[in-house]
Amino acid sequence: MKTTVLLPGTYDPATRGHFAVIETAAALFDEVRAVIFVNPDKTCLFPLSDRLEFLRLATKGFPNVTVDSSDGLVVDYVRENGISFVLKGLRDGRDFLYEREMADWNGARGAKTLFCPTPPELAGVSSTGLRERLEKGQPIEDVAAPGTSDAILAAYRRLSLDKRD
């Protein structure tokens, strides 16, 4: 039986932490779906098209990983696509508390969640921190998902120019 896992997130933008979870999932599961879920209550810096590009760049070395987006609920995506599990990365205890609550909600609706701790050296890496570095003009190569830094910087410059116009 083929086992498919869903890695949901906003990926605004994809980080080395996201990449570590994707890499682990790709080694453990037959098929991995890294899916950007559009949350209307969350304001993202990068438009969906850019985030999809970043995620595709980060995952291009994994033949069993596909990138997708959805504006629906995780439980609906799981049901509609025959997903076996949802996999969520954890950096620390705060992540666990939040993700456990989501896992309980999704689990009550049939979507089983597994947790994957990120490597200790990536515990401080977040999309928020990456965006803060962009705003300050600091390097991002050590926190952005591999293969994405140039695209993220180009997209950020474009967004910055658009704001000035």
Domain boundaries, the chain: 4-164
Res. 165: pLDDT tops 70: no
Rg (Cα) of the chain, in Å, rounded?
Answer: 16
Helices and strands counted in the chain (H then E): 6, 5
Helices (H), ranges, the chain = 16-28, 48-59, 74-81, 93-107, 127-136, 149-164
Residue 4's nearest CA partner among 39, 34, 48, 42 is 34
For the stretch 132-152, pLDDT in tens is 999 999 999 999 999 999 999
pTM here is 0.93
Mean pLDDT of the chain: 94
CATH number of 4-164: 3.40.50.620
